[in-house]
Amino acid sequence: MFVRHHGGTLTGDIGGRFQMASKHVKTPLGIHTHNDCEMAVANSITAVQQGAVQVQGTINGYGETLRECQPLLCDPNVELKLGMRCIGRENLKHLTEVSRYVSELANLHHRQDLP
């Protein structure tokens, strides 16, 4: 089950929603965040801290009108700062390569604010 939120929701609200949902739902929870106010990564990390086991996202923000969480930014934070296994530390070194490859496949210039 996924907890959805609007892109402008703050992290404290996400944490509270996850706590409430986990009391009533025994299915593992995930999150689908939008990035209207640049909160997608922070809200996804907050959801992981509250027990989310899956984070939906898009590479380089491609594929959604309002963009979603960037796994390229979320995964290293979960691995390195929270100490939780996500993609494995050994795979973090490939994120820049993945980002540039996806830009190439999409035939778009690679954004400079990405890894």
Give me the residue spans of the domains in the chain: 2-105
| Residue 56 β-bridge partners | 32
Least confident range from 50-59, 62-71, 73-82: namely 62-71
C-alpha to C-alpha distance for 11 and 8, rounded to whole angstroms: 10
For residue 20, give every residue at least 6 positions away whose Cβ sits within 8 Å of its Cβ, in sequence order, or none: none
User: What residue type is assigned to position 42 of the chain?
Assistant: A
Mean pLDDT of 52-73: 85
Which pLDDT score is estimated for 113? 74
User: What confidence tens digit (pLDDT) does each residue in 85-102 have?
Assistant: 999 999 999 999 999 999
Which pLDDT score is estimated for 97? 94
Residue from 90, 89, 92, 45 nearest 69 by CA: 45
Mean pLDDT of 48-73: 86
Which pLDDT score is estimated for 7? 66
Which pLDDT score is estimated for 6? 61
Residue from 67, 28, 75, 35 nearest 50 by CA: 28
What is the chain's mean pLDDT, rounded?
A: 87
CATH of 2-105, one of 3.40.640.10, 3.90.420.10, 3.40.50.1820, 3.20.20.70: 3.20.20.70
User: Which two structure tokens, joined as six digits, stand for 37?
Assistant: 């106010």
Q: Where are the beta strands (DSSP E) in 21-66?
A: 30-32, 54-56
Using alpha carbons only, give the angle 3, 7, 2 rounded to the nearest 5 degrees: 10
pTM: 0.85
